[in-house]
């Protein structure tokens, strides 16, 4: 049995639907996703978290884009407040902040429901879709509604850097990279954004980073990452996802009591390989059992290698219960 500790911090993914289709997105979100968490499941998940709150320091609500469904967001804020769960913030890309009036009325609605802080995304990935003016509305009006400390900008580096662009128009990503130079852009994404080499970033931004052969990533088990209680996510289907490991589900978060008793790995070969041996073991399994072939150009990180193997396995037609949601693997290149 694989034991994981009770969560200390985490996010609820209401949906993978988003107004954007960002090139770095860990969860490969986009407009084509249609499913949303039901209010009943959300209540069930939050009540489960409340029963296991011993080490909990904070929750956040995320997506996809949570403001695509303000009724569900308001419901979640009120429910968390009733359960006295600490909600650190709601994430948004500010797509809906096209006017000052709409921004103010929406933020006041959420503040009245009990929200105390908003995390506003700002980066060349997001501004490829969202005019910078929307971000300014969210930040300036948000500071009036929630106070200065109630607005977190992720990242303030890019907020300052992009404040000189035309605020009314999205900024094409290729134009940004060309203006910065590939080396400076890749450095800024790694150091100022903390880019995670998994999800869509691994498939669409690999050209910015050095690749190495699979053997370079040998010898590292992933049990520490997969059992980390920090910054876990629970999605609309109930998938319990460890911090950086998008596309891997540890089990059903609607039944946390069972999950925290231990995870049986006997019918989860991918998870078993990663926990017991790491990507090297997963690679051997995929090559021997499913004909996986290494990418001749190599990989930018061990999570990139892991993702490429998992994508191959997900495409074999066999059902791997620990690979999910299924949609994740279908939208990595889009």
CA distance 8 to 285: 33
Which listed residue (15, 17, 198, 204) binds ligand SF4 by CB under 6 A? 198
What is the nearest approach in angstroms of ligand SF4 to the Cβ of residue 248? Answer: 6
The answer to whether 279 contacts ligand SF4 (rule: CB under 6 A) is: yes
Q: Stretches 37-45, 60-68, 152-160, 220-228: which one binds ligand SF4 (CB under 6 A)?
A: 220-228
In angstroms and rounded to an integer, the radius of gyration of the C-alpha atoms of the chain is 20
Which listed residue (79, 200, 233, 302) binds ligand SF4 by CB under 6 A? 302
Residue (107 or 253) nearer to ligand SF4, CB? 253
What is the nearest approach in angstroms of ligand SF4 to the Cβ of residue 310? Answer: 8
The answer to whether 322 contacts ligand SF4 (rule: CB under 6 A) is: no
Q: Stretches 18-26, 175-183, 227-235, 300-308: which one binds ligand SF4 (CB under 6 A)?
A: 300-308
Which listed residue (274, 283, 300, 314) binds ligand SF4 by CB under 6 A? 274
83-85-86 Cα angle (round to 5): 155
Q: Stretches 128-136, 204-212, 302-310, 324-332: which one binds ligand SF4 (CB under 6 A)?
A: 302-310
The answer to whether 270 contacts ligand SF4 (rule: CB under 6 A) is: no
Instruction: Give the binding-site size for ligand SF4 (rule: CB under 6 A).
Output: 11
Residue (43 or 220) nearer to ligand SF4, CB? 220
The answer to whether 259 contacts ligand SF4 (rule: CB under 6 A) is: no
Contact 324, 239 (CB under 8 A): yes
Residue (91 or 225) nearer to ligand SF4, CB? 225
Q: Stretches 30-38, 124-132, 222-230, 256-264: which one binds ligand SF4 (CB under 6 A)?
A: 222-230
According to the 3-state scheme, what is the secondary structure of the chain? Answer: CECCCCCCEEEEECCCECCCCCCCCCCCCECCCCCCCCHHHHHHHHHHHHHCCCCCCEEEEECCCHHHCHHHHHHHHHHHHHCCCCEEEEEECCCCCCCHHHHHHHHHHHHHHCCCCEEEECCCCCCCCCCHHHHHHHHHHHHHHHCHHHEEEECHHHHHHHCCCCCCCCCCHHHHHHHHCHHHHHHHHHHHHCCCCCHHHHHHCHHHCCCECHHHHCCCCCHHHHCCCCCEEECCCCEEECCCCCCECCCEHHHHHHHCCCECCCCCHHHHHHHHCCHHHHHHHHHHHHCCCCCCCCECCHHHHHHHHHHHHHCCCCCCCCECCHHHHHCCCC
The answer to whether 244 contacts ligand SF4 (rule: CB under 6 A) is: yes
Token pair of 96 as six digits: 């809906």
The answer to whether 222 contacts ligand SF4 (rule: CB under 6 A) is: yes
What is the nearest approach in angstroms of ligand SF4 to the Cβ of residue 88? Answer: 23
What is the nearest approach in angstroms of ligand SF4 to the Cβ of residue 225? Answer: 4
The answer to whether 303 contacts ligand SF4 (rule: CB under 6 A) is: yes
Which listed residue (226, 259, 273, 300) binds ligand SF4 by CB under 6 A? 226
Q: Which of residues 51-70 bind ligand SF4 (CB under 6 A)?
A: none
Token pair of 316 as six digits: 């074999």
Which residues contact ligand SF4 (rule: CB under 6 A)? 198, 222, 225-226, 244-245, 274, 279, 302-303, 306
């Amino acid at each position: 049995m694989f034991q994981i500790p009770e969560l200390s911090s985490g996010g609820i993914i209401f949906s993978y639907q988003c107004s954007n289709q960002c090139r770095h997105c860990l969860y490969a979100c986009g407009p084509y996703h249609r499913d949303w968490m039901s209010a009943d499941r959300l209540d069930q998940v939050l009540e489960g978290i409340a029963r296991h709150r011993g080490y909990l320091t904070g929750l956040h609500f995320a997506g996809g884009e949570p403001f695509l469904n303000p009724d569900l967001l308001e419901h979640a804020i009120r429910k968390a407040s009733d359960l006295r769960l600490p909600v650190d913030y709601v994430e948004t890309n500010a797509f809906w902040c096209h006017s000052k009036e709409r921004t103010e009325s929406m933020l006041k609605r959420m503040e009245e429901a009990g929200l105390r802080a908003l995390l506003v995304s700002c980066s060349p990935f997001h501004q490829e879709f969202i005019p910078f003016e929307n971000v300014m509305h969210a930040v300036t009006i948000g500071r009036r509604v929630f106070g200065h400390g109630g607005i977190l900008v992720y990242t303030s580096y890019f907020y300052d850097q992009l404040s000189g662009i035309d605020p009314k128009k999205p900024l094409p990503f290729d134009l940004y990279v060309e203006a910065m130079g590939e080396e400076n852009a890749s450095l800024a994404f790694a150091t100022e954004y903390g880019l995670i080499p998994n999800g869509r970033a691994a498939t669409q931004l690999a050209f910015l980073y050095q690749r190495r052969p699979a053997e370079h990533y040998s010898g590292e088990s992933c049990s520490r990452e997969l059992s980390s209680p920090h910054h876990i996510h629970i999605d609309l289907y109930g998938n319990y996802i460890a911090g950086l490991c998008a596309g891997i589900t540890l089990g059903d978060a609607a039944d946390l009591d069972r999950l925290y008793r231990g995870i049986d790995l006997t019918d989860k070969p991918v998870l078993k390989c990663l926990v017991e041996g790491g990507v090297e073991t997963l690679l051997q399994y995929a090559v021997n059992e499913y004909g996986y072939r290494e990418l001749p150009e190599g990989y930018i990180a061990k999570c990139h290698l892991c993702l490429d193997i998992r994508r191959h396995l997900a495409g074999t037609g066999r059902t791997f219960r620990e690979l999910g949601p299924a949609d994740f693997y279908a939208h990595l290149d889009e």
